[in-house]
Amino acid sequence: MKRLVDSTTGSHGNVQPTGCSDPGFSRTVIQWQKKHGRHGLPWQQSKDPYRVWLSEIMLQQTQVATVIPYYHRFLVSFPDVHSCALASSEQIMAHWSGLGYYTRARNLHACAKRVVSDYGGVFPSEPEKLQALPGIGRSTAAAIAAFSYGARAAIMDGNVKRVFARVFGIDGYPSSKPVEDRLWQQAAALLPETGHAAIQAYTQGLMDLGATVCTRTTPRCDVCPLTKRCVALASGRVDELPVRKPRKSTPTRQVIMLLLVDSTRCVLLEKRPPVGIWGGLYSLPELAWEDGKTAQQLHKKIRKAAQPYADVDGVVPLEKVSHGFSHFTLAIHPYQCTLKREGHLVSEDSHVWYPLHQIRNAPLPAPIKKLLERCDSVS
């Protein structure tokens, strides 16, 4: 059997693909993908690395159905890596607004600039070089290289981890180092040996199986091509594998947000720092929440904070909004402030008065946009 490399460990500590340890596994996945897998997704219609890369970044932590309209809109505005690199960060963030995990958008922009400056606008074909670019992890690098260039590289995203953990009966939390190492080794050993088309169908097949058959809560073992091989099914452990992440209780952070809406129906937006949650996006001005304050004390505090931007006429508390992040919950206490006149001129770098009726185009995080859309529809 042909060996592609002598060592099993590459320069980045990655397991390098060797000969295939079980050709029947990849054959089964490929045959199933051709017949039952997904073939009509927008990004499957092209091998253009820019489109493949864009889709892979958008699909990290986001469902296909959510990504599709964002993907189309992004390509209309930025049809290639050059236009993406030349865009302003506000334009990129506005196109990402609502998709969540905004670090992805900042890294995407940085990556486009690097591809243009370091590679003349052509994405490299080697997974190691792709992995060195901003926002591209090991599995994403392998997917881009496989789909765009037919590279023989193993992927291991959340869906594939689940399929492998069940089929091979792998115990332990899949994102812990020893379990993840084992999964990567298994994935590298199972790569098909021949042909661009084979690696593409195999990579897509694993993704499709995880997304459409071997799902987290309702796996469809009756239609799965891996039924005969599946250790979890044979041992009655489908519900137990993959092992869930050990639960930690997440803290709640409380904050006051000000909806300053002036007489021309513009709302004051504040640019967030480039790093941290919602980094680089616009949001509402914030104040620290203090337990035990009376309504009168709160209103006084809000009027004082708003003073540089507007003369506040009335202050009305709105319904509390909660938004979950991976490591904490943000409890937002929104206060709508009515103003008799136009808002004061503000520094363009950090604040802007934005027309409420155009709020859907603003580079805002989803919960803030929803809050403002509601405010526009009721006031």
Q: Rounded to an integer, what distance in angstroms lies between the CA atom of residue 280 and that of residue 287?
A: 19
Catalytic residue among 56, 180, 240, 290: 56
Closer residue to ligand SF4, CB minimum distance, 52 or 163:
163
Work out how close the CB of 230 gets to ligand SF4 at its nearest, in angstroms, rounded to a whole number.
3
Work out how close the CB of 212 gets to ligand SF4 at its nearest, in angstroms, rounded to a whole number.
10
Work out how close the CB of 163 gets to ligand SF4 at its nearest, in angstroms, rounded to a whole number.
5
Work out how close the CB of 168 gets to ligand SF4 at its nearest, in angstroms, rounded to a whole number.
10
3-state secondary structure of 373: helix
Q: How many CB atoms lie within 10 A of CB 19?
A: 12
Closer residue to ligand SF4, CB minimum distance, 206 or 302:
206
The 8-class DSSP code of residue 61 comes to T
Work out how close the CB of 234 gets to ligand SF4 at its nearest, in angstroms, rounded to a whole number.
9
Peptide bond just before 274 cis, omega within 30 deg: no
Instruction: Determine the number of helices (DSSP H) and then strands (DSSP E) in the chain.
Output: 14, 8
Closer residue to ligand SF4, CB minimum distance, 137 or 169:
169
Q: What are phi and psi of 340, to 5 degrees?
A: -75, -30
**Torsion angle of the four alpha carbons 274, 271, 59, 177, in this order, in degrees rounded to the nearest 10:** 40
Instruction: Return residues touching ligand SF4 (CB under 6 A).
Output: 163, 166-167, 213-214, 219-221, 224, 226-227, 230, 232-233, 238
Q: What are phi and psi of 256, to 5 degrees?
A: -95, 135
Closer residue to ligand SF4, CB minimum distance, 22 or 126:
22
With a CB cutoff of 8 Å and minimum separation 6, the contacts of 308 are: 344, 346
Question: What's the token pair of residue 346?
Answer: 């503000």
Work out how close the CB of 215 gets to ligand SF4 at its nearest, in angstroms, rounded to a whole number.
8
Q: What are phi and psi of 177, to 5 degrees?
A: -55, -50
**Torsion angle of the four alpha carbons 152, 158, 161, 163, in this order, in degrees rounded to the nearest 10:** -100
End-to-end CA distance of the chain: 72
Closer residue to ligand SF4, CB minimum distance, 81 or 232:
232
Q: Rounded to an integer, what distance in angstroms lies between the CA atom of residue 92 and that of residue 355?
A: 20
Closer residue to ligand SF4, CB minimum distance, 154 or 233:
233
- Establish whether 56 is a catalytic residue: yes
Point out the residues that are catalytic: 56
